[in-house]
Amino acid sequence: MDCSLALKCSVIMWFNLFTSISSQAPVAKPKLSALFVFGDSTVDAGNNNFITTPMKSNFPPYGRDFINHIPTGRFTNGRLVSDFIASYTGVKDIVPAYLDPTLTVADLMTGVCFASAGSGLDPMTASLSSAISMEQQMVYFKEYKSKMEMLIGKENTMNLIEKAVFMLSTGTNDFFVNYYGIGEPVTQYMYPNVTSYRDFLFQNIEQFIKELMNEGARKIAMVGLPPMGCLPEVITMNTYAATHGRICVEPMLSVATDYNVNLQNKLKDMQTADTKLYYADIYKPILDMIQSGTTKLGFEEVSVGCCGTGYVEAAGLCNMNSAICDDASKYVFWDAVHPTEEAYYYIFTVLRPVVDKVLSDYIN
């Protein structure tokens, strides 16, 4: 081995030692090499901190219940589902943002988050809030691969990627912000019915997943849509729902359920002999918390967020001048759009069988 580049040589030696120990040591569950995350604010670990966008959360009270009470850019009071998955699988405690300049080699080797709050499957969605588009997230992943190939070599990099899990969580902004929101005039002109828009989004999903496959991904999990009609801000914006006991907006629920059914079929059709595709259902656990959280799951407030009035606050509107609930664990929502850490943990527990399936496939 040519060790003229001391850093490269030491990283390769570290990588070989790490993989050797991992393969020999008895563990309770198979250990993934890395977890890579793409998507929107449901999984953004802080990438938006490093770009010019109004969609930021790197200030209090965000992060109030995170490690050392640090606001990292996660749109909640603590950890995300992706963090719980990383910890459960033994990859790392939390998934860091790729754009964070303080990342270490160890951080890179065990996976990073490319997600950006405000992003979506439709490129126009990201442009509406100056977020990182899914196309740019793919560019960053390819950049990541190039960095790793320089550090540990092409063969080790490919081995790392083939044994990693890829998680995609996006789509809500395409409907909530774009199709039914500020992008409505243009987007609905181009796609006069929601089915045609859904099919356009599926084309983009297919393209993105195929590109991941071409880059070596062999295990890819796609998160479905949440019950969008039950988000506090959606309820607030709908006059009828807001004035009738803050009920969920049924048409938005129907859009999400239709999307999720068709997404599952799409993933089945795309599965290959070399690549496993998984569907992660967040619709049911979130709806369960909203419909029966006060009686069965320990939540006391299910229709407004912890921050501010709970009706409209998110990102910059949720700040230290906002009234904040005393105990966020009693709330399903942290702000008017995003769940609390407690809610994210419940979602993780419901998704755990999917994670276990991935782990099972990892050794088969």
**Domains by residue range for the chain, with CATH:** 32-363 (3.40.50.1110)
271: which 2 tokens?
């599965």
In whole angstroms, give the CA distance from residue 171 to residue 167: 13
Judge contact between 194 and 255, C-beta under 8 A.
yes
By the 10 Å C-beta count (0-12 exposed, 13-18 middle, 19+ buried), 215 is classed as middle
Check residues 15 and 174 and name the one with the higher pLDDT.
174
Look up tokens 């969609």; give the residue.
55
Mean pLDDT in residue range 83-87: 98
Note the residue count of the chain: 364
Percent over 70 (pLDDT), the chain: 91
Which is catalytic among the residues 40, 65, 83, 338? Answer: 338
Provide φ and ψ at 293, rounded to 5°: -65, -35
167 has which bridge partners? 37, 221
In whole angstroms, give the CA distance from residue 43 to residue 64: 17
What was the pLDDT predicted at 363? Answer: 65
At residue 30, the pLDDT reads 61
Question: What is the DSSP code string of 164-179?
Answer: SEEEEE--HHIIIIII
Task: Give the C-alpha separation, 17 to 10, whole Å.
Answer: 10
Give the number of other Cβ atoms within 10 Å of residue 210's Cβ. Answer: 14
pLDDT at 6 over 50: no
Distance (Å, whole) CA 153 – CA 311: 51
Q: Fill in the DSSP letter of residue 93.
A: S
Ramachandran area for residue 254 (φ above 0: left; ψ -120 to 50: alpha; else beta): alpha
**Mean pLDDT in residue range 128-133:** 98
Is position 292 annotated as part of the catalytic site? Answer: no
Please give the Cα distance from 238 to 244 (Å, whole number). Answer: 10
Least confident of 8-22, 97-111, 223-237, 266-280: 8-22
Query: Is residue 233 over pLDDT 90?
Result: yes
Predicted pLDDT at 32: 87
Annotated catalytic residue 356: no
List phi, psi (to 5°) of 240: -65, -50
Choose, from 40, 44, 122, 335, the residue flagged as catalytic. 335
Q: Which residues contact 171 (CB under 8 A, 6 or more apart)?
A: 40, 120, 121, 201, 224, 225, 259
pLDDT digits (tens, 9 = 90+) for 286-343: 999 999 988 889 999 999 999 999 999 999 999 999 999 999 999 999 999 999 999 9
Paired strand residues for 169: 39, 223
Q: What is the pLDDT of residue 332?
A: 98
Answer whether residue 213 shows pLDDT above 50.
yes
Task: State the catalytic residue, choosing from 33, 40, 41, 119.
Answer: 41
Let me know if 82 is a catalytic residue: no
Digit-coded pLDDT (tens) for 13-67: 444 544 443 444 444 456 789 999 999 999 999 999 999 999 999 999 999 999 9
| Span 219-226, average pLDDT | 98
